Amino acid sequence: MTTEVSNGVNVQALLEAREVLKGAPEAAQFTWRASSKWQSGVHSTTTIQNFFGLGQEQSHKKEAVLDADHPEVFAAEDNDITPIEYLLVGLASCLTAGVASVAQNRGIQLRSVEATLEGHHDIRGILGVDSDVRNGFTDVKVTFNIDADASEQDIEALVGQSQKRSAVFGALTNPTDITVEVA
């Protein structure tokens, strides 16, 4: 039993949601939304608060306001991190949330979970130097450091299961269909 384990994840609610959504696929259709506004140069501000899910409009408790810019080596003002670094934030946090959820479900008490990420990027693609170079990451490496009441093997399995169910890992490792329009 997992009663003594507390990683702060309400796994029971998630397992119940899984059962409910088996018979109600329409409730599982979420829409995440963002609005962005150009500031100047390559600096923009994106806000996020509302989304749709479980058949109705939903809202985060507070609005998130996130700036992105480019560093001085790109001849920009470095008001904040770059757009591509936001992908690393999403990846790190999604895999970490997965590790906590799976650990809770498997009765493994976590003490600490840290991850370091490296995204390799050949900027000749985005600068148009060589059209054979991809615009996105060449590859991304994620390294977890986990302290938990579990064997090395169980920790490896936790991380493996987290990847298997990660929204962001899935979105990045598979082609995502994106349509861009002008209103």
Q: Contacts with its own copies in 159-178 (CB under 8 A)?
A: 159, 163, 165-178
**How many other CB atoms sit within 10 Å of the CB of residue 60?**
10
- SS3 of residue 157 by DSSP: helix
Q: Give the nearer residue to its own copies in terms of CB position, either 2 or 17.
A: 17
Secondary structure letter of residue 174 according to DSSP: S
Helix or strand (DSSP H, E) at 21:
helix 11-22
What backbone phi and psi angles, to 5 degrees, belong to 163? Answer: -60, -40
Q: Contacts with its own copies in 94-113 (CB under 8 A)?
A: 94-97, 99-101, 110, 112-113
**How many other CB atoms sit within 10 Å of the CB of residue 20?**
11
Q: Give the nearer residue to its own copies in terms of CB position, either 1 or 183.
A: 183
Regarding 7 and contact with its own copies (CB under 8 A), the answer is: yes
Q: Contacts with its own copies in 121-160 (CB under 8 A)?
A: 121-130, 134-146, 152, 155-156, 159
Q: Site map for its own copies, 47-76, x if CB under 8 A?
A: -x--x-xx---x-xx--x-x-x-xxxxxxx
Regarding 2 and contact with its own copies (CB under 8 A), the answer is: no
Dist. CA 48–CA 52, nearest whole Å = 12
Tell the smallest beta-carbon distance from residue 149 to its own copies (Å). Answer: 15
Of 1, 4, 40, 132, which one interacts with its own copies (CB under 8 A)? 40
Dist. CA 178–CA 183, nearest whole Å = 16
